[in-house]
Amino acid sequence: MTEDSKKFLTLTFDGGRFASHTVPIDVLAELGTVQQLVTRLARYFYFERHPERHRVPRGFPEATRLYLAASEPNCFSAVLERPYPWAWEGPASELSVFDEARELVIRALGDAQAGRTLPEGLPEQVVDSLTALGQRLNSDESLLIRSPSGDAQVRIDQRSRRMLARITKRPLELEEGIEGEVEVMNDAARRFLLRLPSGEHVEIPFEIEHRARVLEAMQQRPLAKLRAQGTLLTVGKMRMRTVEEIEIVDDERAPEIQKLWTRIDSFVQISDGWFDGEGLAPTERCRLRARAILARLLVDGRQLPKPAVFPNPSGGVQAEWVLGRWAAEVAFDPDEDVVIAEAIHADSGEERAEFFSSGQVTGDSTLPLMSWLEALR
Amino acid sequence: MCVKIGAQLTQSEELLLRHVRPVWLDDEGHPSSQAFWPFRDIDECCLSTDRAALTTPQASHQLFTSPQPAGCGETSAGVWALAVSEVQAVGLTAWEDPAPAWDARPANPFHAVIEFGESNQSQQKKLGKRLKIFACARGKLYP
């Protein structure tokens, strides 16, 4: 192919994941976006010159194909070539539409970075491809597009993509994997709401074959997280347009949470009079509250050790920590809506106590309680 | 308040052996503070222990868990200990209290109690938490 073809573009992936001179396979899909962009632009130029025509000439589709001719291990560079057409019926001069397409891609992206509007009359499909370029890059990565001569070049990163999205009034799309907790699942609409660690929510569509996974992730949170890979729209309310993969992922403290849950679940076997004829069985409400809040506490307080958990003779559940010389306890009392936290210093006898309302400490957030416990460490 | 039949223990370094029932031990071997204060009505504000000056953790465990009439027929997940000085540090007192044989239980001449006095349940619970820290720092003595 080399003899019958010519160098068309060089793409250099830089930074982040490319620093080790390799490139993730899925990022190579950017090469497909480049081809799509060049094809759409070349087609646009062709029909602009031949308004009388409704079809492209024979050989045109083949002529737009780009080939990965070489890769250079500096960061990761891909040299793309466009072979001479095998069955091109038109005059050779018209092949310039491909070079013009390339030049316009570089110029349009450069203009957008400089805050200038795109050339007028560009078809919507071309603008779509332009804004899609670079959507698989992470925030610390960039893609340098160069013409063969090196005279024209442009660097694409997420900052330049945001500029382009603003100018073209399109949502910024990112091909990204995001991880979080499934908070709400809407079966009728086949959508669920994923809460990211930052607290932001993303609406994500799901196919029927992924339903069981989404449901399991929702029922097992915060032990289970869900990772979704797809096209993320980040303008306004975040949502995923398309999803390629959905996977359940364990939280890093999943083994500890599982032990905690197994322990609390075992309290269902306890009946009244469980301790030498005294002691009430832990109520279901106490068990469920302890289950949800203590699991969340382990996720919120990564440095906090797993507590020892016991039934309480008053029908509640208590969690105990030894934090240095402090003995700390969190009690879930059957007669109280509040969570009672108490600590005492073994040597000085100094006491601390706090009551957390059912609104302050929940299965979704335990930050005030976590801070209170962390302060004892 | 419980009726004691012996003198107050004053040797600060003497250890008092405390059995922790299985229910007060979690899956990873951490005892609850509940094991270190006399919350039951029958405890009468006194926490049962055995004197390490007179017996060993192993012998104490055997007497406590062996079936009656050779032993007390109780359950124990292990033996922890508190020094008399630690009991005194939290403001409590320890007393020798040898137990005579009764019903089908054998005598326990090594028995002693930590008296929690007139304090209410809330105060006793706090003292139990402090004692737990001392006992946990020393660790389980047997098995």
For A189-236, write each residue's pLDDT tens digit: 999 999 998 889 999 999 999 999 999 999 999 999 999 999 998 777
- Measured between beta carbons, which residues in chain B are less than 8 angstroms from residue A344? 126, 129-130
The answer to whether A13 and A27 are in contact (CB under 8 A) is yes
Residue A188 banded pLDDT, cuts 50, 70, 90:
very high
Q: What pLDDT does A115 receive? A: 85
Tell me how close the Cα of B30 comes to any Cα of chain A, in angstroms. 6
Distance to chain B for A275, nearest Cα, Å = 8
Q: Name chain A contacts of B122, Cβ cutoff 8 Å.
A: none
Res A85 pLDDT > 70 = no
Put simply, the answer to whether B133 touches A325 (Cβ < 8 Å) is yes
**What pLDDT does A2 receive?**
42
Residue A4: its pLDDT value, please?
A: 42
Question: pLDDT tier at A89 (50, 70, 90 boundaries)?
Answer: low
Would you state the pLDDT for residue A1? 41
* Candidate from A244-248, A350-354, B3-7, B102-106 with smallest mean pLDDT: B3-7
Burial of A245: CB neighbours in 10 Å, binned 0-12, 13-18, 19+? exposed
Distance CA B99, CA B108 (A): 5
Over residues A338-366, mean pLDDT: 94
Is the preceding peptide bond at B57 cis, omega within 30 degrees of 0? no
pLDDT for A3 equals 41
Q: For tokens 């062996």, what's the residue?
A: B66
A367 to chain B, closest Cα gap in Å: 24
Residue in chain B nearest A264 by alpha carbon: B26
**pTM score, two decimals?**
0.77
- Rounded CA separation A163/A166 (Å): 5
Q: What residue ranges of chain B have pLDDT lower than 70?
A: none
pLDDT at A278: 85
Burial letters B99-119, b for 16+ CB under 10 A, else e: beeeeebbebebbbbbbbeee
Instruction: Flag if A320 and B40 touch (Cβ within 8 Å).
Output: no
Question: Is residue A108 pLDDT above 50, yes or no?
Answer: yes
With beta carbons under 8 A apart, name residues in chain B contacting A329: 33, 129
> Whole-angstrom Cα distance, residue A327 to residue A346?
7
Q: Is the pLDDT of residue A284 over 60?
A: yes
A308/B28 touch (CB, cutoff 8 Å), yes or no:
yes
Q: Does B39 touch chain A (CB under 8 A)?
A: yes
A–B CB contacts, 8 A cutoff, strictly below: 61
